[in-house]
A and B are shown apart, each in its own frame.
Chain A
């Protein structure tokens, strides 16, 4: 099993550009989530999904969209990138919602100029 994979590893965007961060897991996990990690601020939840076709907002959802059309994939879309979205983004999955144990991907480092 590859676990949780994320692409790209690095990305530089100009303000106003849009892009999609890809996340996939091959463990048949129901729960998937997106976090951003900034220095001194820990992991902040952007969006999460408790199963295919179901998504919900986390702490910091503004400027981001998600969809969950399959169990395996959970892409994160930046609609119009802003410098404040410069961060490291992590995707995670868990066998069941509320279980707690999460498996993280390697992260995508995004710089918005």
Chain B
């Protein structure tokens, strides 16, 4: 079974601070996805990373895939209250056609 562990579970910061959340596994994934979920809504796909060592930027969000494709990180620069939400990482179990999700990091950015 491929498991994904996310840390920290909860994060509360002030507007303007930087933060990093982590997604780790002992298994190799062909790709990893990051989603953001706002209260009362479904998760929304932010990015997919595919290549080991890959870095993708989405405005103030920077996503990195580990060289061994077992871990990923999400770094937010100058966080804003609109960044508040649940951040989930996920990876496909290619043999079974389904995906594994981490338990998520709940981020609160205070104005």
- List residues 62-113 of chain A with CB under 8 A from any CB of chain B: 90, 92, 97-107
Q: Please state if A98 and B94 are interface contacts (CB–CB under 8 Å).
A: yes
B88 to A100, Cβ gap below 8 A? Answer: no
Decide if B44 is an interface residue (CB 8 Å cutoff): yes
Chain A: interface residue count, which band? 20 to 34
Query: B-side interface residues toward A, CB under 8 Å?
Result: 30-33, 35, 40-45, 48, 88, 90-94, 96-99, 101-104
Report whether A105 and B42 are in contact in the complex, using a CB–CB cutoff of 8 Å: yes
Report the minimal beta-carbon distance from B96 to chain A, rounded to whole angstroms. Answer: 8
A42-B88, A42-B104 are contacts. A102–B44 as well, Cβ < 8 Å?
Answer: no
B90 touches A102 (CB 8 A): yes
6 closest pairs, A vs B, by CB?
Answer: A97-B97, A104-B42, A42-B103, A100-B92, A98-B94, A43-B101
Cβ contacts A47-70/B at 8 Å (1 or 0 each): 010100000101000000000000
A residues 8-44 with Cβ under 8 Å of B?
A: 31, 33, 35, 40-43
